[in-house]
Amino acid sequence: MGPFLITNPPAERFLQYWYYEQDAEEALPPTVYELLNQVMTLESEQIGELSLQGRSFVIIISPLYNLKSVRGAVAVVRDMTEERRLDKLRKDFIANVSHELRTPISMLQGYSEAIVDDVAETPEEKKEIAKIIYDESLRMGRLVNDLLDLARMEAGHVTIRREEVEIIPFIERIVTKFNGVAKEKGISLGVKISEDVNRDSWLQVDGDKLEQVFTNLIDNAIRHTPAHGHVSVTIESLVSSYLFTVSDTGSGIPEEDLPFIFERFYKADKARTRGRSGTGLGLAIAKNIVDAHEGQISVQSKYDHGTKFLVNIPKIK
Ligand SMILES: Nc1ncnc2c1ncn2[C@@H]1O[C@H](COP(=O)(O)OP(=O)(O)O)[C@@H](O)[C@H]1O
Ligand SMILES: [Mg+2]
C-alpha cells in the first residue's frame, strides 16, 4: 500500500490502472506527485487531471493539518470518463453542424456573387447557377429540419401519436413514392409480403413518423445501389411483432463502420458529400423513432454486396 494510510475501492481501481500501465515501481503517477508537492508547499487544495487506460480522472488533493503544520494530504479521485465522453460528443456535434452549414453557405455566396458580377453570359448559364442556389437552399432547409427533429427527440419530446395503420397499404404507398427514382436509376424495387400478414393487418403506431423511417431506409438503399441492382422491402409477422426489412444489392457498408451507422452525421463514404446526398441524420432520427415505439432497428451488411436494415415493431400497445 506504500505511502497510503487508507484507500477506498474507486481509489484502488485507479491505482490498479496505474500499476498496470507503468513498468517502474512508482507508487503514484508523476502528475499526482507534482500535485502533492504543491499541496505540501503551498498548503492549499490542488486540482489536476490525468488519463489512465483510456479513462479520465480528476484528482483533488487537500492538505491535512496537524495543529500547525501539514502532516499529509487527502486525495479525492473522480472517474470523469462519461462526462468527458459527453463533452466530446457535444463538441463534435457542433463542429459537424458548422461544417454541414458552411458548405452550402459558401456555395450560396459563390454562385450568387457570380450572378451579381454578371459572370454568367447566357440565360442558360444564369439558370444553371440559379438552380444550384435553389438546390443548396433546399439542402440547408432539410438539414435544419432534421436537426430540429433530432434535437426535439433527444430532449425526450418525441410525441408518438398512435393510430391504427394498415400495414400493407402503408408500406406499398411509401414504396410507390420511389418507383420513379428507381426506374430512372435502373433499379428494381419491390415489396414481398409473407403469407402470415393479411391485407387488413394493422399496427397501432405513429404513421407519419414510421413513414419517415421507411422513406429514409428506401432512399438510402436506392442511393447506394448502382444500375441493375435490386431493392426490396419485406413484411413478416412474428409472434409479438412485425418485422420489416429493406435490402439492397448496393455498395454495402464497411464492417468497421457498422457500429457507428446510427450516430448523428455518420457518413460511411466521407468523400461523397455533394450531389443528392443526405444530411447524415436520417438513421439517427430513424433509431429515435423506432425506440419511441419500443421497437428495434438493426443492420447487416457486406461490403460491395449489399445491405439489409431490419425494423421490428411490437404488435401490442
Ligand atoms: N443502404 C445503404 N447502403 C450503403 N450505405 C448506407 C446505406 N444506408 C446508409 N448508409 C450509410 O450510412 C450513412 C448514414 O445514413 P443516413 O443517416 O440516412 O444519412 P444520409 O442518408 O443523410 O447520408 C450514409 O451516408 C451512408 O454512408
Ligand atoms: Mg438517409
For 137-148, the pLDDT digits (tens) are 998 888 888 888
Q: How many CB atoms within 10 Å of residue 102?
A: 10
CB within 6 Å of ligand 1 — which residues? 216, 220-221, 224, 248, 250-253, 261, 266-269, 277-283, 307
- Neighbour-count burial for 168-198, b at 16+ CB within 10 Å, e otherwise: bebbeebbeebeeebeebebebeeebeeebe
Cell of 47: 486540482
pTM of the model: 0.72
Count Cα neighbours of 275 within 13 Å in the Cβ-side half-sphere.
Answer: 7
Q: What are phi and psi of 199, to 5 degrees?
A: -55, -35
| Ligand 1 centroid, distance to 17 Cα (angstroms) | 39
Q: Each residue of 221-257: pLDDT tens digit? A: 999 999 999 999 999 999 999 999 999 999 999 988 8
When pLDDT is cut at 50, 70 and 90, the band that residue 1 belongs to is very low
DSSP letter for each residue of 98-162: HHHHHHHHHHHHHHHHHHHTT---SHHHHHHHHHHHHHHHHHHHHHHHHHHHHHHHHTT------
Contacts of residues 41-45 at CB distance under 8 Å and 24 or more positions apart, as own/partner, are 43/70
For atom 21 of ligand 1, the residue with the nearest CA is: 278
